[in-house]
Amino acid sequence: MAEHRGLEVDGLSVRFGGIQAVAGVSFSAPVGQVTGLIGPNGAGKSTTFDACCGLAPIEAGRVRFAGVDITRASTPARARLGLGRTFQKMEIYDSLTVAENVALGRAARLAGASPLRLALATRAERAETADAAAWAMHTCGIEHLADHGAGNLSTGQRRLVELARALAGRFTLLLLDEASSGLDKAETALVGRILHRAVAEEGIGILIVEHDMDLVMDVCQHLFVLDFGRLIFDGSPAEVRASAEVRRAYLGQAAVS
């Protein structure tokens, strides 16, 4: 069997005090495609992301990435292996330019767990960081904003800066948490095109948590559905759309109609 180059989650459980946030969840997200992790609010999606990235304690189960068991690995160690992450709440540095914000994606990965490495980066590493930032800004269509202060950007532009920063990390697999939050329909469609392009041109994998079902159905090849911390269904977008079980979980929302 060929080595699995993406993310593999087996029997993942996360508990916070008396609350079982995630219960025995198993799924996989390979490279070379977009995989969706969807479900109602409070279903455990972001907690699952946190556990995969080392930001939430794992009660039971295993997490593997690129064929390596990372269940107990540190967050920087996972990043160095090629596992990246964005968050639902944007974290853009308003005092920096767009180019500086985007460059942090690659610089932070190169630095790993040692901030001192940022200051001691070699000339080759600095060039690599600049090249990665330029490519990411071009992919996201924001190269014309490179010298603009991030504090003056619109919500849509800030989301694109955040996405560009994640892409600049040159990760093998990106976990994107609500990439379209706060965006209008046109901006959301642009995010979809960017994700298609990143996968097609770079061969990366993307695991996306997203409530905009139009975006999910457009970009994802496979979907996993959580409800109350448990996996209740998985399949293609068409199969998920047709599932009565998924409809019940979403309480008949038009999002899956």
pLDDT reported for residue 38: 95
pLDDT reported for residue 254: 46
pLDDT reported for residue 127: 85
The count of domains in the chain is 1
Residue 70 lies in a domain: yes
Statement: the pTM of the whole predicted model exceeds 0.85 = yes
Residue 156 lies in a domain: no
Residue 136 lies in a domain: no
Q: Which residues, listed in sequence order, are joined to residue 69 by a DSSP beta bridge? A: 64
pLDDT reported for residue 80: 87
Residues of the chain with pLDDT under 70: 1-4, 109-121, 251-257
**What is the rounded (10 degree) CA torsion for 92, 201, 33, 70?**
-60
Q: What is the pLDDT of residues 32-44, one digit of tens each?
A: 999 999 999 899 9
Domain that holds residue 24: 1-81+209-257
Note whether 127 and 79 are within 8 A (CB): no
Residue 29 lies in a domain: yes
Residue 12 lies in a domain: yes
Residue 251 lies in a domain: yes
Residue 250 lies in a domain: yes
CATH number (domain holding residue 57):
3.40.50.300
pLDDT reported for residue 119: 53
The most distant pair of C-alpha atoms in the chain lies apart, rounded to whole Å, by 57
pLDDT reported for residue 250: 74
Q: What is the pLDDT of residues 202-228, one digit of tens each?
A: 999 999 999 899 999 999 999 999 999
Residue 114 lies in a domain: no
Q: What is the pLDDT of residues 7-55, one digit of tens each?
A: 999 999 999 988 999 999 999 999 999 999 999 989 999 999 999 999 9
pLDDT reported for residue 91: 81
pLDDT reported for residue 252: 52
